[in-house]
Structure 1
Amino acid sequence: MTNTTAAVSNTADTVALTPKLVQQQGQRLLVDGLDWLQGHWLQILIAIGVATLIVLALAALKGWGKRYCDRQPVVTGWSGVLGRAIAKTSTFFMVMIAAKLVVGYADAPVAVNSTVNFFFTIAAVFQAAIWAREVILGLVEARTTSERHSSEALGSAMGIIRLLVTFALFAIALIVVLDNLGVNVTGLVAGLGVGGIAIGLAAQGIFADLFAALSIIFDKPFRRGDSINYDQTSGNIEAIGLKSTRIRSFQGEERIISNKQLLDKEIQNNTRRDHRRAKFAIGVIYQTAPEVCERIPGILKEIVEAHDRVFVRAGFLGFGASSLDFEVEFDSPGADFPAFYDGRTAIGIAILKRLNAEKIEIAYPTQTTFTAAPDGTLVMPYAQVQPVHEVDPRRGASGEHA
């Protein structure tokens, strides 16, 4: 008997939604609404007046948001982000706020209250999703507006970004609405999760490069036009795309590398240098007097400072195989490579001229070989030359007169 009762109860709880049932509910709503209007007309008028003021205030705020976006089409800060979100406020949401206030103040019947709550829930959840989408997209644009490469890279990525953000937010909104309406959303959530995993595995390479492109846009390790080094490659950034970055090497060819692979490498951004450092190693012969060697660091410093470069250090480096080695380091301000190159050339030639003027000989690789005699003494590398005597032409080679 108990099982039969439970079965009847479950059958009653799961009544099918038929046109007749909808008609009956509509008639009930109409009758309850008319009774409510007759019994609470004063409270309803007051609530409608307050609700109208609220709707007008929200409409004025929405109009301000639209005007702000028209004046500043490019989002640059939080004010632009909020203005963009406010401009997307729907009229349906404003009306449902007013209706919610009316039924709450005027003690509406259950049928009217349930209907208003149903539509208000839908309007509020989806309006929150729209606001969240506009805030996220606005922050993306505001984050990258000041960068020269952003318009190109972000313009290519914005369509995919908008699609992904919209899908995620509205899927969450749909689940929240269904859950508030009493629908079991466990299966829907599981289906969305499995589908998302399948899509992610199928397109993991594309998504990896896409997120790497977004990382380049947000983190800004480089931008279009920058000169960079990575591995054995040096060149200028020509374009940053969704899948790859194009680099024009200094040898002239265009190199294309995926965004993920590029970010996995150590990148040197030469454009953001505050200086370039040059170093010269100079070797002088071992026959140079110690007093002259003591003057060499000062000579090198004078030459560097005379060419408007930042002197770092100069000094004795070590005893080389065939030279006394000195070193000088100096900085060229800024990242301009041609200016650095020309300055380094001028200083190198000036060092050569100064050493020649000071009679300081620059060493070149030399090697001397000594041969030892059996007794340990050194044997000269050439034979001894016998002295040559002048021969009297009146005598022969033997010294006798002809």
Structure 2
Amino acid sequence: MIDFYHSLDLTPTNALFGLAAAVGSYALMHGALILFRKRLGQLSEERMHGPMVQVLHKTLVSTGAFWIFATAVLIGLSVLDLPEPWNTRLGHLWFFTLGMQIAMFLHRAVKIGSRHYFLTHGRAAGNQQVTVAHTVVIWLLQTAVWVVFVLAMLSNLGINVTTFVASLGIGGVAIALAVQNILGDLFASMSIAVDKPFEVGDFVSVNNFSGTVEHVGLKTTRLRALGGEQIVIANAELLRNTVFNFKRMSTRRIVFSLRACPNTPPELAARVPEMLRDIIGRQEKARFDRAHLKTVDQNWIEYEIVYTMLDASYDLYMDTQQAINLDAMRMFADLGISTAPRPQHVLLQAAPGVQADVRGDAKGAANEDAPAQRPRYLNH
């Protein structure tokens, strides 16, 4: 012990000065930590500040007195004029102490921050999928923190970590390529768990497939189609396509057409849009938007009608549409408007030398000198 004391070339005055610096720094850091904890605790209880305040408060709570003591001792030693190799060793101790404390801070902050994020964005926080995604994210981030710390520590000690980092990178790329499909589906599952584009029980349509979501797993999502069969889609494939979630519809816009005979008098045709407004207005959950005579040609006249269902229920929509169609049929009957297309007239003319009846049936060859038959008209 005496040899160690003399090897540092310390005087009683220097030793007392270093001890005073260590004690003073410990008291100062301990008091500042208590004040920070108290203030951050008040801010987190007010809930008027962002989640970063809560994460920082919970992280500082986990700071132990041992690391404050170790830092204070290093401060006390730093004020001394130490000879080599003790000065170099002190630098390594500084790097280890501060690096370890920062790594522990990040380790704790990752856990608290990710938990807060999943609880905020994952509405089904008790769901197994959310729990697994939360665990995987925490494990990956915390592992990255400690790998970086270990590599930095080895580099500070003078060990060449370039080859190790390169090998680690190549190995990571090889593993990622080998399991890229599984990892893609896993991260897609995490995205679904957090972002919630759909949930179990929603009716969705994606990539020409439609069905009710039965299960969202780590690799696949299962839909129950209207025909009864189960559709299994990979999560990554699911998110690469546009997903239509019909359960989250609040309204339903309906566009349909009605046709009538083109011989309808213009006076009657002009009354139809207003009568359609009255018909749709009588429906409890329907809001009339417009009705116009859209098309007039030789075969029919066509009305385009648009209304909005205030309830997205498909069964209610079909009941309402049926009632509107029946009322429209009664309206056309009351107005005397036919819904049949324009009558077609077919001209039948017998070929020279062939006698035909009104049905166009050949009666047999006639005398070439027989007079030509008059054309006959058939309504079709």
TM bucket (normalised to shorter chain) is: 0.7 to 0.9
Matches of 1:80 and 1:45 in 2, distance apart? 36
CA distances 1:80-116 after superposition (whole Å, capped 9, x unpaired) = 3223433443544323322232223455555554444
Q: In structure 1, give the amino acid aligned to 2:304.
A: E
| Equivalence map 1:1-400=2 (5 Å) | 29=4, 31-32=6-7, 36=10, 38-57=12-31, 60=34, 77-107=51-81, 110=84, 113-146=87-120, 147-152=122-127, 153-307=129-283, 308-319=285-296, 322-333=299-310, 335-363=312-340, 367-372=344-349, 379-381=376-378
Query: Which secondary structure state, in structure 2, belongs to the residue aligned with residue 360 of structure 1?
Result: coil
In the superposition, relative to structure 1, how do residues 53 and 259 fare at CA in structure 2: closer, same or farther (>3 Å)? same
Shift of 1:367: 5.0
Paired residues, number: 352
Matches of 1:240 and 1:62 in 2, distance apart? 43
Q: In structure 1, give the amino acid aligned to 2:119.
A: T
Matches of 1:60 and 1:211 in 2, distance apart? 40
Matches of 1:216 and 1:135 in 2, distance apart? 24
Matches of 1:242 and 1:134 in 2, distance apart? 26
TM-score, normalization by structure 2: 0.78
In the superposition, relative to structure 1, how do residues 354 and 150 fare at CA in structure 2: closer, same or farther (>3 Å)? farther
Shift of 1:230: 0.8
Matches of 2:317 and 2:60 in 1, distance apart? 52
Query: Which secondary structure state, in structure 2, belongs to the residue aligned with residue 282 of structure 1?
Result: strand
Query: Which secondary structure state, in structure 2, belongs to the residue aligned with residue 250 of structure 1?
Result: coil
Query: Which secondary structure state, in structure 2, belongs to the residue aligned with residue 40 of structure 1?
Result: helix
The match for 2:359 is none
Query: Which secondary structure state, in structure 2, belongs to the residue aligned with residue 370 of structure 1?
Result: strand
Query: Which secondary structure state, in structure 2, belongs to the residue aligned with residue 197 of structure 1?
Result: helix
Matches of 2:239 and 2:323 in 1, distance apart? 38
Shift of 1:46: 2.6
- Asked if the contact 1:227–1:270 (Cα under 8 Å) also holds between the matched residues in 2, the reply is yes
Matches of 1:321 and 1:179 in 2, distance apart? 87
Structure 1, unaligned runs of 5 or more: 1-25, 383-402
Query: Which secondary structure state, in structure 2, belongs to the residue aligned with residue 272 of structure 1?
Result: coil
Matches of 2:210 and 2:343 in 1, distance apart? 37
TM-score, normalization by structure 1: 0.74
Matches of 1:110 and 1:64 in 2, distance apart? 42
- Asked if the contact 2:40–2:53 (Cα under 8 Å) also holds between the matched residues in 1, the reply is no
In the superposition, relative to structure 1, how do residues 357 and 131 fare at CA in structure 2: closer, same or farther (>3 Å)? farther
Query: Which secondary structure state, in structure 1, belongs to the residue aligned with residue 346 of structure 2?
Result: coil
Matches of 1:338 and 1:218 in 2, distance apart? 32
Matches of 1:304 and 1:318 in 2, distance apart? 21
The CA RMSD over aligned residues, in Å, is 3.6
Matches of 1:115 and 1:377 in 2, distance apart? 123
Q: In structure 2, give the amino acid aligned to 1:148.
A: R
Shift of 1:66: 12
- Asked if the contact 1:61–1:86 (Cα under 8 Å) also holds between the matched residues in 2, the reply is no
- Asked if the contact 1:225–1:238 (Cα under 8 Å) also holds between the matched residues in 2, the reply is yes
Once structures 1 and 2 are overlaid, which stretch shifts more, 268-277 or 192-201? 268-277
Q: In structure 2, give the amino acid aligned to 1:226.
A: D
Query: Which secondary structure state, in structure 2, belongs to the residue aligned with residue 298 of structure 1?
Result: helix
Shift of 1:291: 0.9
In the superposition, relative to structure 1, how do residues 251 and 53 fare at CA in structure 2: closer, same or farther (>3 Å)? farther
Q: In structure 2, give the amino acid aligned to 1:324.
A: I
In the superposition, relative to structure 1, how do residues 150 and 253 fare at CA in structure 2: closer, same or farther (>3 Å)? farther
Matches of 2:11 and 2:226 in 1, distance apart? 81
Structure 2, unaligned runs of 5 or more: 352-371
Q: In structure 1, give the amino acid aligned to 2:376.
A: V
Matches of 1:334 and 1:220 in 2, distance apart? 23
Matches of 1:56 and 1:85 in 2, distance apart? 15
Matches of 1:217 and 1:118 in 2, distance apart? 44
